[in-house]
Structure 1
């Protein structure tokens, strides 16, 4: 097949831009591998956005003006540029994950492979940010969020510019307007919707569009600004040099590149992950990149530092290096069940560099250059579609649990959780009896299940209420019902919320619980006892425990304007208000003091992983009694306050006592895990605790 004739003109190659790419990718790698060494290294992604916007827009502007723009050729070049390395990394992750991951991990990886193949990783990752989302460090394809944004820009921007050009609209005006809107959405959204703002294309496009504005001014207003530049250059030269110095633009170019590099350095060491990013902080890497690029290839920093052969070499392999580094680091953390040692992370980085160079030499260059361009493009498209299908199919089949890698652990822990109230599909969370009684009510996130038509006990709360009745629900025993919503306290008007959630949506979700409980108590007079169970310490303290979910920074608020609230008082007042409503109906109330949080994913405690980097003992799934007591001191005090405020008309079941002794609290019994993850009971643990609860209740009732 003949090659596709090249018509698109391209900007002259600038080695200094490759050098800037090197800074961007190496800063990201430093942040990921050694975060304490460069806390703001993640802004390297923002540098990539500006570079991409500049180069892509230069191509589009030039070819629209010349009448040589071709969508077919434009996207064919993007396919040959991006697909080869990405396909290789996606396949490598799928194959390695087959042997290294448990089913739940492989299911998530497969979903991310499908999302990566469809260039919607940012959207998928955004949708995952929530109550049961696992740590980003254990997502080997987390970094593809930025590629998703770039690809979405590559689809949206050429189409819009072509449409505008055909209708004789001013391209500068359109670029400025969209950039302003995007930046405005970024500023207004970073506090109210931080996760959405980080991952959304509409709140990130302004960074690429700043590169587009630079491209436009470079192409069309170079002469218009020359007089201003010469005046500024002359003024700077007079300020810098003792003797008269010709106003030739060099002093200004050098000043721009030096200031740009200083601004980048400032960003690397001042910006950190705890700031509201992107927001206003993203202006720093954007402005730095614009200044360095606009300085031109002859500025001293650009010519000597950025155009240095080593910097250019890293720039040339920057794309495959970006693709390879994070899966290697992430898989290392998954396999080690903890942050890998410094040596392992250093080896992962070196391996990423080697793989990136091999990918560039053996895969990227041969495909991008040479003949048979149309055939290469078609094959790459088919391969990417195939990978996307395989990823989606593996995700749909629950991570292919039949794989040998998962068999032993499934026997020990996972198999006894499948099909429970909490971990099956949301469509099964509400049974037919609930749907009949609650006709017209919202079912979003609601768990409502009955074991009998005449339940005697109603369990109410969040996922920690559901965990107590796994066994009962699955066996249809104990004459009970469950009503709960994950991540919600059963309060009348207060809402438990973390920074990844929107108040309007979360309040709608949480505030249905108490009305549904009151309705069920009227519809089912057989219910004589209401049992409340929630993850107390997390709501009181506002954050998770251990190394698994500290990201959940919960606040208990009444309106989105309640920024500075004191969770302890809200927890107490919210429970007192709800319990008083139940007591008015003459029902008995039991409050379950929560089981311990073990602070580590239980699957790492029950079995050796299929693959290991180092030979080390399994982590302990126990916490010291002292640390448990320190974690729960305010929660226990709150329970006492609730009891006192309701005139001690409630009974308190200390569930934690059955998993604690004098020295430790934990979830391993006879080499079996009583936990599913870091804080939820497995089916085995659920049966154990509920049996203890039944015995306790019998004694209390006598």
Structure 2
């Protein structure tokens, strides 16, 4: 029967019988996610609640599609109308509320990012957008109020692909069970294989997550078409369990088996909450725990003791009924609190956010969801919801294009002057401006990732390194210092054979970028005899310790490696060896080598220390933009030890300029001086900071 015929004959989709225990299972899923986000150290594996949702969604949606294909009543239009009326109302409300609150609470760069995520959420592609940004467990994730919509993106992509695939398989007379098994196995294989190679992609990709929804689909098929399969074996197993559990008099009627299945399912979930954490290779094989737990609980049926007494009680069912708006509201509230506080909010603020979440979820369910889902005028409601979703998506996209509406800051000009940011300088220009005409003529090639600048045809000092080399001198370059040249590649150490890489980067591409630095340096030394001094400047502590610092950065693991198959990573000694291999040929040329020990990392966005947010929660909203001297020394201990080793290995031919000492005292290392910011972000100097530090460097050279 064709789609058109089935729609005409019977436009009404049949739905599975309501089971209150499934709403109770939803309650467990949503409460675990909320608990993890509010108190991550309390329920470390709470995020697997999303995987429980996946199984439930796969079970219910597949039951609808299987049943109606069998009856000839399946209608794409009615199927998607129901999905729109179920999902759009609460989502539109949360997106609009996030946009409105962001207007009052966010800086322009934060508001721009929110706009992108509003557009992605409205288009149900949040998982794909977030995939290209950072991992779910990175610290930067806490400053993304719509991060949680990644799971909704995967579910919506499943709702689009899976019914269509089943309908096509049905028309071609394929076995739907076979199709479901094949898709589930393929997805699980990609998941297990992918989590070891690219954990971020595996977490967010639909193709590596569909198997969890497919397990719900398999359960739906078994419940519909093989309900009495293996009846003899089930009866014997139930009889054996009765004999093991009870002394006598208990009938062999399947209840004991159902109870064991539900107890086992709950036990698997509890175990998963306890042993899985953000450091696990997740989803991978670990995702089997929540998937299997949910499958066992659903398969046990509504009459199993756990399902009947625990999951079907009134409180659990009530939480399950509001679970969708509860999920949508909880993370924006917690994330906005984190952004405004510039750090993890206090326990009291997080508790208040959770309580407010429950109130908003109930109001959304009672006043928005139910009236729209039920009642008349279904077509008008659906069209209105579609237009509203398109509208909010377009608003988010325009917000992104217009750079977060910078005009919202009434005193933006004075704040920018006080902040003294580096827009328009060599590091923060567009990449087309990173290489000047003299470099192009000298190198004879285009390097999209290279920063190469001259201030004179006869420079005396060549500064070499990564973005910290560029930020060290960009004030001097911008003002045309007489004797300066710069060669740098962001995120690269100036090594000959070693490459610095994090899990989001491909070795071949990063190797091509990083390994051009030293050949260019040696060529410039040959072609410009005026260069007598080479100053190396990089963010050393990050490369040695293997991660960023503070609450603003992605906590990727940085490795210094010889090749793509190098697994014996020990950054400290490779840092030393890499620098010695680069420095020794320069010393043999009779050039002076200076090593610049890096400025402090302040660990927070410098803008938070200068700009006054229009919305406050507490007096903690504006950070100090400093770190204790103890924390700084601990962070940099191995780095400074490595610098000493480099100096000793070159018989003290390398001179060290300790840039950090001009921003540190015995108590702290700070980024604010006389109410002015010396930093642009959490680790790069502002224009004023660059001017200050390079001035100290010039004085040091004169001495």
- TM-score of the two chains, using structure 2 as the length reference: 0.93
State whether residues 103 and 406 of structure 1, in contact with CA within 8 Å, keep that contact through their aligned partners in structure 2. Answer: no
1:464 corresponds to 2:475: no
Report the equivalent of 1:670: 674
Report the equivalent of 1:333: 338
Deviation at 1:580, TM superposition (A): 2.6
Query: What per-residue deviation string (whole Å, max 9, x for no partner) do you get for residues 449-488 of structure 1?
Result: 4445554433222221121123234444445343323322
Mark the runs of 5 or more structure 2 residues left unpaired by the alignment.
1-7
Query: What per-residue deviation string (whole Å, max 9, x for no partner) do you get for residues 183-214 of structure 1?
Result: 12221222221111111112111111111111
Distance between the aligned counterparts of 1:196 and 1:439, measured in 2? Answer: 37
Q: Secondary structure at the match of 1:532?
A: strand
1:149 corresponds to 2:154: yes
Change in Cα spacing, 1:148 to 1:511, as seen in structure 2 (3 Å) is farther
Moved over 6 A (4+): none
Change in Cα spacing, 1:490 to 1:404, as seen in structure 2 (3 Å) is same
Report the equivalent of 1:317: 322
Deviation at 1:413, TM superposition (A): 5.4
For residue 397 of structure 1, the aligned residue among 395, 402, 406 is 402
State whether residues 340 and 621 of structure 2, in contact with CA within 8 Å, keep that contact through their aligned partners in structure 1. Answer: no
For residue 66 of structure 1, the aligned residue among 37, 50, 71 is 71
State whether residues 461 and 533 of structure 1, in contact with CA within 8 Å, keep that contact through their aligned partners in structure 2. Answer: yes
Q: Secondary structure at the match of 1:653?
A: strand
State whether residues 625 and 670 of structure 2, in contact with CA within 8 Å, keep that contact through their aligned partners in structure 1. Answer: yes
Deviation at 1:117, TM superposition (A): 1.2
1:619 corresponds to 2:626: no
Change in Cα spacing, 1:79 to 1:420, as seen in structure 2 (3 Å) is farther
Deviation at 1:406, TM superposition (A): 7.1
Report the equivalent of 1:33: 38
Query: What per-residue deviation string (whole Å, max 9, x for no partner) do you get for residues 323-377 of structure 1?
Result: 0000001111111222111111111111111111111111111111222222222
Q: Secondary structure at the match of 1:201?
A: coil
Q: Secondary structure at the match of 2:619?
A: coil
1:204 corresponds to 2:204: no
Change in Cα spacing, 1:203 to 1:410, as seen in structure 2 (3 Å) is farther
Deviation at 1:630, TM superposition (A): 2.7
For residue 602 of structure 2, the aligned residue among 598, 602, 612 is 598
Report the equivalent of 2:643: 639
Deviation at 1:501, TM superposition (A): 3.5
Distance between the aligned counterparts of 1:428 and 1:107, measured in 2? Answer: 24
1:524-539 residue pairs with structure 2 within 5 A? 526-539=530-543
1:544 corresponds to 2:548: yes
Report the equivalent of 1:554: 558
Deviation at 1:575, TM superposition (A): 0.9
Q: Secondary structure at the match of 1:628?
A: helix
Report the equivalent of 1:648: 652
Distance between the aligned counterparts of 1:161 and 1:617, measured in 2? Answer: 52
Deviation at 1:559, TM superposition (A): 2.5
Deviation at 1:313, TM superposition (A): 0.9
Distance between the aligned counterparts of 1:424 and 1:124, measured in 2? Answer: 25
State whether residues 265 and 292 of structure 2, in contact with CA within 8 Å, keep that contact through their aligned partners in structure 1. Answer: yes
Q: Secondary structure at the match of 2:127?
A: helix
Change in Cα spacing, 1:601 to 1:163, as seen in structure 2 (3 Å) is same
Deviation at 1:233, TM superposition (A): 1.4
State which drifts further: 626-635 or 545-554: 545-554
State whether residues 101 and 405 of structure 1, in contact with CA within 8 Å, keep that contact through their aligned partners in structure 2. Answer: no
Change in Cα spacing, 1:322 to 1:428, as seen in structure 2 (3 Å) is farther
Q: Secondary structure at the match of 2:462?
A: strand
For residue 493 of structure 2, the aligned residue among 476, 489, 494 is 489
Change in Cα spacing, 1:452 to 1:61, as seen in structure 2 (3 Å) is farther
Change in Cα spacing, 1:493 to 1:350, as seen in structure 2 (3 Å) is same
Distance between the aligned counterparts of 2:386 and 2:433, measured in 1? Answer: 38
Deviation at 1:424, TM superposition (A): 4.5
Distance between the aligned counterparts of 2:220 and 2:314, measured in 1? Answer: 25
1:273 corresponds to 2:286: no
For residue 256 of structure 1, the aligned residue among 228, 252, 261 is 261
Deviation at 1:234, TM superposition (A): 1.6
For residue 508 of structure 1, the aligned residue among 506, 512, 520 is 512
Q: Secondary structure at the match of 1:37?
A: coil
Distance between the aligned counterparts of 2:528 and 2:151, measured in 1? Answer: 52
State which drifts further: 577-586 or 388-397: 577-586
1:95 corresponds to 2:127: no
Change in Cα spacing, 1:245 to 1:638, as seen in structure 2 (3 Å) is same
Distance between the aligned counterparts of 1:410 and 1:305, measured in 2? Answer: 56
State which drifts further: 507-516 or 349-358: 507-516
Distance between the aligned counterparts of 2:428 and 2:56, measured in 1? Answer: 44
Distance between the aligned counterparts of 2:206 and 2:453, measured in 1? Answer: 39
1:205-244 residue pairs with structure 2 within 5 A? 205-244=210-249
State which drifts further: 181-190 or 318-327: 181-190
Change in Cα spacing, 1:82 to 1:505, as seen in structure 2 (3 Å) is farther
Query: What per-residue deviation string (whole Å, max 9, x for no partner) do you get for residues 277-297 of structure 1?
Result: 111111100000000011111
Distance between the aligned counterparts of 2:630 and 2:645, measured in 1? Answer: 22
State whether residues 11 and 75 of structure 2, in contact with CA within 8 Å, keep that contact through their aligned partners in structure 1. Answer: no
State whether residues 101 and 406 of structure 1, in contact with CA within 8 Å, keep that contact through their aligned partners in structure 2. Answer: no
1:188 corresponds to 2:193: yes
Q: Secondary structure at the match of 2:426?
A: coil
Distance between the aligned counterparts of 1:308 and 1:437, measured in 2? Answer: 77
Q: Secondary structure at the match of 1:545?
A: coil
For residue 81 of structure 1, the aligned residue among 64, 79, 86 is 86
Change in Cα spacing, 1:420 to 1:114, as seen in structure 2 (3 Å) is farther
- TM-score of the two chains, using structure 1 as the length reference: 0.93
For residue 12 of structure 2, the aligned residue among 4, 7, 16 is 7
Change in Cα spacing, 1:301 to 1:129, as seen in structure 2 (3 Å) is same
State which drifts further: 308-317 or 660-669: 660-669
Change in Cα spacing, 1:478 to 1:391, as seen in structure 2 (3 Å) is farther
State whether residues 341 and 622 of structure 2, in contact with CA within 8 Å, keep that contact through their aligned partners in structure 1. Answer: no
Distance between the aligned counterparts of 2:205 and 2:578, measured in 1? Answer: 35
Deviation at 1:405, TM superposition (A): 6.7
State which drifts further: 534-543 or 426-435: 426-435
